[in-house]
Every structure is written in C-alpha cells, then in structure tokens.
Chains A and B, each alone.
Chain A
Amino acid sequence: MNFHVDASTGKTLGLVELSGRLDAANRSELLKSFALWQQQVDLFIFNCTKLDMIDSSGLGAIVACLRKALERNGDLKLAGLNPKVSMVFELTKANKLFSIFPDTGSAIQSF
C-alpha cells in the first residue's frame, strides 16, 4: 500500500496504490491507514492496476473507505481495475457504488 498526495490539478487528492491481494488478512491494515490518510485529504483515488485479487472482505474494506470518505463530504474513486478484479466488482454489484476509471490520469481529471 502506497500513499502520496497529488495537487497537480489544483485539488489535493490522496493517491493510494493497492497491490497484490486485498483480503481478510490485510483489510484492517487498509482501514487503519485510511483513517490516517483522512487527516490529510478528503478526496481519494485508489489505483488498482497492481491489485491482483480481491475477496468479499477486501471489497468490504474498500466500501467502508468509501462510506468514511462520503461522511466527510469527500469521495473515493477507483482506477485501473484488472479484468479479474472488475469481475468481482460486477458480481457483487459494487461497481454501482463507485466511479471507476480506466487509469489514474482520467480519475484525477474527473475531480
């Protein structure tokens, strides 16, 4: 998990790079980190290009992140889902909750 703040477009965005697997083993790590990141920014982009696999608890964690972002009038957008990960999003209808972009660039533009 990699976090940095991007302000190139004038808006302060938190760019999070997820990698490997997101499941029950590391969901709490994401949730904890997310709480810390929220002290810096309100708008987030999760870059998922390096995310290989996600299961329901990993998905739950991302949805929880979205909720927390919305509570603070922020937002969370996703970018670069590989076909396998996006199959899980479609299966669980989670794709209807998020704005999903093909890559980080277009996600940044959308804010």
Chain B
Amino acid sequence: MKTLIIVKEKDYEWLGPVFPGIHPLLLPICNKPFAEFLIDFSVLAGSEAIRFVSDGPLGDVEQYCENGNRWGIAISYGSILENDDLQMIIEKNQRYCVEEKVLIVSGYVFIQYDRQHDYKTLLASLPDGEFLSSNHGSLRLRGARPAVHETIDRVPLSLTGLDSLDVYYRLSMEILSYASSPYVLPGYNNEEYCHIGRNVVISKSSEIRKPVMIGNNVQIFEGSILGPGAVIGSNVIIDRECTVTDSIVLENTYIGEHLEVQNRIAAGNILIDPESGISIVMDDPHLLAGIKKTGSGKKVFQSFVHSIAALFLIALLLIPFLLLSPILILQGKWKRSKNSYYTSGARKPVTLTTTTIERKGILSTLAGAISLDRFTLLFSVFAGKLALIGSLPVVARHAGSMDLNTIESWYHAGVFSYAEAEDWPVNGGDTAIVERYFAVHGNPFLDISMTIKAFFNRIHETKTL
C-alpha cells in the first residue's frame, strides 16, 4: 500500500501569521513535527511509500524528511494547483497511484491513533472510498479490494482538524497527559508523563512537575518551576525563577527571569494566548526573545564582493556621469524621485533617491544605455543598503515595520535585478521566480557575471522602469 498526503495552502493559512517561518507540516506537536505523526501512521497502516502533495511550498518538508530512509519508507513530493479536485490530484500522480492500493489523507488534520493497535488489518478490510472524515479533512482508500465481511475489532481512530491555535494547544496538552503515549514521542522516557531530550541542563534548585516534555539543548536555571503541563522545545533557555505551566514553549526561545508563563504559547519573541488567539510580539530582550542562529559568513563575503564590483562600476561610469548628468538635468530629462524601499525581509525600509532618464535624443539614450540612472544607487551598496544585484526594489507602503511580514526571506533589493539579467518580463509576479532561484543558487561570483549581463541587457532596453 501507498499513502498520498494532500495538504492545501488554504487549509493552514491561519498558521502563517501565528508562527512565521514554521512550515505547517513541520509544526511541532509535543516536540514532534506534525509530518512525523502522519509518517508514523502510514507505516503503521502498512504503507511502503508516502507522497506529500501541496499547492504550497514543500521545500522545508523535503529538507526535513528527505527520501524517508530514516523511517524505512520511500517519501516523494509533488505539486498541485489550488483548484485541483481529488480526481485531478490522482491523475497528476497517476504513476504513483496506479496498480496499488492508496491511502489518501487530505486536509490539515491530525490522525489520532494508538500504536498498540493493528491498523494494517483494519485498512485491509475496508472497501474503496472515504472511511473517516471530519470537517477539515478525510481518510479514504483507492484501489482497495471489494469489502470483505470479516469482523474487525474496533480500533481507535479519529481525525482532528487543525484549524485554530486553541485546537493545537489542547491537542498538545492532551498528548502530553497520556501516561503511556499512543504515539512515539521524542526524548528519554524513563518514567511516565516525562520526556526529556539530549543535552538538557536542569539546575538543582529548579523543579520539574509532571507531565512535562523537554526537547534537546535546553537550559533551566535556578529556582524555575516547569509544569505541570509544559512542553519545552529544543534550544530553549528558561532563566531564573520562572514558572512555566500548561504552556508550550517552541524551539529557539528565551524566557527571561522571574516570568510566569501560564496557559500560553511562547515562540521566539511571540507570546500567544491560545484561547483568545491574541499574541504580542516582544521587542524586549529581558522578557521573551528569539534565540537567533548566527548569521553566515557567506553574506559578509557576498556584500564584500558586491562592494568591490560596485566600486569598479563607479570608476567606469564616473566620467560619463559627470559629463552627461548636468546636461540631462538642464534638458529636464533627468528625473529624480525619493521613495522608501524595502531592502531585505529583516530590515526597516530605507529611503532611496532613484533616477529615471527619459530616453529621447542621443545623449539621454546613451546615458540610459550605460545605466547612468543607477549610478547614485551604487553608493548604497557600500552602505549595505542595497545589493549590487538582487530583487527589484519594492516600494514600502507604510512607514511602520508591520508590512515586513509580507516581504519574503529571499528578498534582497539590488541596484540591478536578476530579472534584468535574465531578460525576464519585469512586470507581473514572474520576476519572483527568478529572484527565488538566485536566492538559493546564487554566489558572489555568479552575481558579478549576472550584473554584467544585466548591464548589457539594459543597453537595448527601450523603456525605463
């Protein structure tokens, strides 16, 4: 048997703003990524292969699950479109689904099962079609043999649609409170109601009250009280004299000293009340803070190479700039405008002065062809505001930083853009495709050759941006 897991973006869209940066399939439920629960159940049900299909990104899931070797199962991935129905999805995965019985899990649903029971026999006895459903998803079989009328022991199996933080919170607390868990949970489990991961430092004067679950690389300082009811993720620091009860602390979180976390979810610097859904973002490192992974040296090297190349371009264009710009300014073809732009996903917008050159007449066409309109922007490369080549700068709509959530992590504004280098149509969302490509595949030296390409492409460009 095989398993096909269908999750669509709209099923989990509520999660994105709540836990930015966590793929919904990797959402930790009692320190175990959601996808692993699905994989465990598939294996238990007798699957040899699993395919995750989605109309959204699966890159993070693939990075985590890889080809499934870890579970002794073959995992593959596929893309579908938003409006594809089940029939269409099966057609798109024809080769995978053909000549095999397939268990289809659709929706962002948590399958509640118990590993003590025999699901293989249960699924073998069921006929084609849907056999379990909730308002957010279903389980169905395809290509099963006609129903055999055997009496099968009733085994526990139900679905919970993960559609709100409250459901997520209550599910986590419920799983935490099983004496001998129906699921395989991470961590050492020498005694009931207690799972503790690797490299956990618990201060002598702190107290652990069951049920608790602690991930890897966790430090708990003096006088803290954990539990009852605490799920602590990996890479978490709980500072002095804290109490954490009936709460979930997601990975990479620092909880400052003397705090009381009760009935809450803490994720980095975000504190959430699961019941009301209200969340606050702390920009106060004394209270809650995200534990950041250290920035890579790759970025530093990249901006260094970009600066050198920008210097070279400045040297090349300085004389034409000094000669042509005064003339064009007098002719009124050199138009400058000040705008606020996003530079990267992490930073606040910066104000940049951009130039547009009206390409009429010999001089202005020449100036446009050698990208003199970008000349002044080159200086922003030294200041680290812009990359030499990157995304098309996006105009910031609001002065506040709220809008930054909509800017994706790959975004890094540049003097030139990859779209120009690759001669992609600049308008429409298509440029994002090439920008994402280089966010992953780019390297500083490739950037130089892309800049040269962009520079030459712009010679023939008739319209200015």
Q: Chain A: residues with CB nearer than 8 A to chain B?
A: 23, 53, 55-57, 83-84, 87-88, 90-93
B264 shortest CB reach to chain A, Å: 8
In order of increasing CB-CB distance, the 4 nearest A-B pairs are A55-B284, A56-B286, A84-B280, A83-B278
Whose C-beta in chain B lies nearest to the C-beta of A95? Answer: B260
Q: Which of A53, A57, A92, A93 contacts B280 (CB 8 A)?
A: A53
Selected from B262, B282, B283, the residue in CB contact (under 8 A) with A90 is: B262
Interchain Cβ contacts within 8 Å, total number: 39
**How does the 8 Å CB contact mask read for B253-285 relative to A, with 1 for contact and 0 for none?**
000101111101000000101001010101110
Q: Are A91 and B273 in contact (CB under 8 A)?
A: no
Residues from chain A with a CB closer than 8 A to the CB of B262 are 90
Cα distance A90–B45 when bound, in Å?
45
Give every chain B residue within 8 A of A53 (Cβ-Cβ): 280
Question: For residue A90, which residues in chain B have a CB less than 8 angstroms away from its CB?
Answer: 260, 262
Contacts of A83 in B (CB 8 A): 273, 276, 278
B288 CB, nearest partner CB in chain A, Å: 8
Q: How far is the CB of B399 from chain A (nearest CB, A)?
A: 15
Chain B interface residues toward A at CB < 8 A: 256, 258-262, 264, 271, 273, 276, 278, 280, 282-284, 286-288
Chain B residue at minimal CB-CB distance from A57: B284
Query: How distant is A71 from chain B, measured CB to nearest CB, in Å?
Result: 23
Cα-based distance from A56 to B257 in the complex (angstroms) = 12
CA distance A87 to B286 in the complex (A): 15
A84 touching B278 by the CB < 8 A rule?
Answer: yes
- Are A87's CB and B260's CB within 8 A? no
Note all chain B residues with C-beta closer than 8 A to A87: 264, 271, 273, 278, 280
Report the bound CA distance from A102 to B178 in whole Å. Answer: 39
27 contacts between A and B (CB under 8 A): A23-B284, A53-B280, A55-B284, A56-B256, A56-B286, A57-B284, A83-B273, A83-B276, A83-B278, A84-B278, A84-B280, A87-B264, A87-B271, A87-B273, A88-B280, A88-B287, A90-B260, A90-B262, A91-B260, A91-B264, A91-B271, A91-B288, A92-B258, A92-B260, A92-B287, A93-B258, A93-B260
In the bound assembly, the distance between CA atoms of A16 and B261 in angstroms comes to 29
A57 cross-chain contacts in B, Cβ below 8 A: 284
Residue of A nearest to B243 (CB): A93
CA of A87 to CA of B262, assembled, Å: 10
| B287 engages A55 (CB within 8 Å) | yes
List the B residue with the shortest CB-CB distance to A91.
B259
What is the distance, in angstroms, from B400's C-beta to the closest C-beta of chain A?
12
CA distance A88 to B377 in the complex (A): 43
Min CB–CB distance B278 → chain A (angstroms): 5
Chain A residues with CB under 8 A of B258: 92-93
Q: CA separation between A84 and B287, bound complex, in Å? A: 14
Pick the contact of B261: A23, A55, A91 (CB < 8 A). A91
The residue in B261, B262, B287 that gathers the most chain A C-beta atoms within 10 A of its C-beta is B287
